[in-house]
Amino acid sequence: MARVKGGVMAQKRRKNTLARAKGYRHARSKKERYAHEALLHAGKYAFAHRRAKKNDFRQLWIVRLNAAVRENGHQSYSTFISKLKKNGIVLDRKVLATLAAAHPKAFSRIAKQVT
């Protein structure tokens, strides 16, 4: 069987690793070993933070909703949400927060229905 030398593929692998690490600081963008390690860590963080981002946005919507709810005469966010559920209004927090920020009149109509 013929011998296969790995130089071409090794160069390609190195080039791809360094291309993916472009923009990193210091040795992480210049040296293959450090770039590879940086990419492994970056992949872990990206995976974890795709999930954390959902929590961050939910917290943001809740803060915005709480401010809008108090402006419309309700006691708090939690009582507003419980009254929404009791009245059968099924709008999620993202939609409610968008209404509160972009269309305050529409949100105030919803808030009046809940009272």
**45-61, pLDDT tens digit by residue?**
999 999 999 999 999 99
Mean local confidence (pLDDT), 84-101: 94
Give the pLDDT of residue 78.
94
Cβ atoms 87, 115 nearer than 8 A = no
| From the candidate CATH numbers 3.40.91.50, 3.40.1280.10, 1.10.1050.10, 1.10.1900.20, the one assigned to the domain spanning 7-114 | 1.10.1900.20
Read off the pLDDT of each residue in 90-105 and give the average, rounded to a whole number.
95
User: Does residue 5 have a pLDDT over 90?
Assistant: no
Lookup result for tokens 């959902």: 54
Q: What are the tokens at 48?
A: 């974890």
Alpha-carbon radius of gyration of the chain: 26
Q: What is the mean pLDDT of the chain?
A: 95
Name residues whose C-beta falls within 8 Å of residue 93's C-beta, 6 or more positions apart in sequence.
58, 61, 62, 65
Check residue 4 and give its pLDDT: 85
